[in-house]
Copies of this chain bind each other. A is one copy, B any other.
Amino acid sequence: MKIGIIGKGNVGTHLNNALSEDASNNVCLINSRTFEGLEIDCDLLLICVKDDAIEGVAAEIARYIPDYQGTVAHTSGSVSMEILRSRFSNCGVLYPLQTFTKQRELNYAEIPVFIEAQTEESENLLRMAASSFTDKIYQADSEKRKALHVGAVLSCNFVNFLYGKAEEILKENGYDFSVLYPLIKETLERTRDKSPTETQTGPAARGDFNVINSHLEFLGDKPETERIYRLLTNSIYIGSKEKIER
């Protein structure tokens, strides 16, 4: 299978590595600025550029390779398949649910990939491509992909932000953020047995206002963290009370 990757950022770089794990794939990186006069004989063109650049790249492909018969797909969590559908009969989305950093090695076999396709041919092609590095392949239309993306924002971007706030506090007190690793790891591991909602612990879940107030006082010189502490504590407390009263 011949795959062309457009975009040399974090996603493009990693997908290039991941897809190359299957030696029978022929993966090449394509610079979107050199489409003109280019002969593309790829079965699949994967657009791995920033969200707001996808449409432009799609337009370029349609313009410079008007007779392209393969499948064109993008890899974004938040862009609809629509912007490809209007230009290509064979199109789709291959969304890898992971955060990519060029310098970091990843275990590609672990990455779940979510696929949407306009035709059966594209569907088969995208599944085949994904299966070169993972067997965690799922279906997701644009609306479900949005749900996944919101879930990723909550459990990755927001969580990372809270890690940052925790790190700041620990640093000020002479500790490295890594002292929290075992706790954070166990918080995640525990969700394998039970839903996180069921295992919610801590002062907010217990309604322990002595501790909550002493923490709010402690955060007095960090109004932003205090505001976040207050809102999340409130939500957790109300949720736990409702669970008890049910």
Q: Which residues of A contact B (CB under 8 A)?
A: 51-52, 78, 97-99, 101, 103-104, 106-107, 110-112, 136, 138, 144, 146-170, 172-175, 177-193, 195-197, 199-205, 208, 210-211, 214-215, 218-219, 224-225, 227-229, 231-232, 235-236, 239
Contacts and interface: CB of A to CB of B under 8 A. Distances in A.
Contacts of A173: 144, 147-148
Main secondary structure of the interface of A (DSSP, over half): helix
Q: Chain copies in the assembly?
A: 2
B196 A150 contact: no
Nearest to A80: B214
A170 B190 contact: no
A60 B3 CA distance: 73
A244 B54 CA distance: 25
B97 A136 contact: no
Given A104-B193, A161-B236, A170-B148, A153 B208 contact: no
A103, A158, A190, A191 — most chain B CB neighbours (10 Å): A158
Contacts of A200: 157, 160-161, 164
A153 B203 contact: yes
Contact of A183 (B150, B152, B166): B152
